[in-house]
Amino acid sequence: MKKTALITGASSGIGLELAKIHAINGHNLVLVARNISKLEELKTELENKHNVSIYVIGIDLSVTDSAKKVYDETSSKNIQIDYLINNAGFGDYGAFYETSWEKEQQMINLNITALTQFTKLYLKDMVSRSSGKIMNVASTASFQSGPLMAVYFATKAYVLSFSEAVNNEVSHTGITVTALCPGATVSGFESSANLEGSKMFTGRKLPGSKEVAEYAYKAMMKGKTVAIQGFMNKVLVASVRFLPRALVVKATRFITQK
């Protein structure tokens, strides 16, 4: 029997590439995003190329209880989710006192609340079967605070802490929870977060969505708890542990600013 992966934010970037990788590996898919037309295009492409079944759900996951609606829909269709990939998320740029609360509230709802609710709902089913894997997309931003992207960095710190804790709780069940921590990635995130011109994305060669997705898939299948993509990202994350926090915050401000 084929396994099924549910991927949020599957219409673009890392989520789209993860959908392709899972299809190549013979997994059925539930693809979730706001843009239903892009999901339908991806469904047609992957079903034609690979012998897999794909179900798409168009929904705004920043709306309260949207994760529950997705869970109820997959349950009503008797779709068992073997791999849950909480990839959907977004960021915003600017000083906190100048940015939009409405946008930040949506960010918290998506990056934290929807991810947590998805994990809660599908993990219960996985525990009852003693099988399943979850991957929550965090970031190298999880390891320090981030001036000019204060809320985004804080949401990703939550994802890392939450994922590590839940992974420990289910360690006796055979289920694994992986926190994927990519660094800056050419994925479309930079334009949606208004980061063009930031030192984060200029003056250096960055990995693309496909490269990060390939690493992510292998890390999840191996059951890694914290998966940091890229050698330099691993070095930077390790260095944060030994530097004064005030210095780390200043260095992060230097990198994020335009």
- Domain range for residue 145? 4-256
Q: Give me the pLDDT at residue 205, please.
A: 74
Q: How far apart are CA 90 and CA 158, in angstroms?
A: 14
Q: Give me the pLDDT at residue 201, please.
A: 57
Q: Give how many domains the chain has, as a whole number.
A: 1
pLDDT tens, position by position, 141-199 = 999 999 999 999 999 999 999 999 999 999 999 999 999 999 876 666 655 556 555 55
Q: Is 42 strand, coil or helix?
A: helix
Q: The domain that contains 105 carries what CATH number?
A: 3.40.50.720
Q: Is 30 strand, coil or helix?
A: strand
pLDDT at 203 over 60: no
Q: Report the chain's mean pLDDT, rounded to a whole number.
A: 92
Q: Give me the pLDDT at residue 20, please.
A: 98
pLDDT at 58 over 90: yes
For residues 27-42, give the mean pLDDT: 97
- Is 215 among the residues known to form the active site? no
Task: Given the residues 71, 152, 158, 217, select the one marked as catalytic.
Answer: 152
Kindly report the three-state secondary structure assignment for every residue of 134-161.
EEEECCHHHHCCCCCCHHHHHHHHHHHH
Token look-up 């960010």 returns 107
Q: Which residues of 103-123 are buried (b: 16+ CB within 10 A; e: fewer)?
A: ebebbbbbbbbbbbbbbebbb
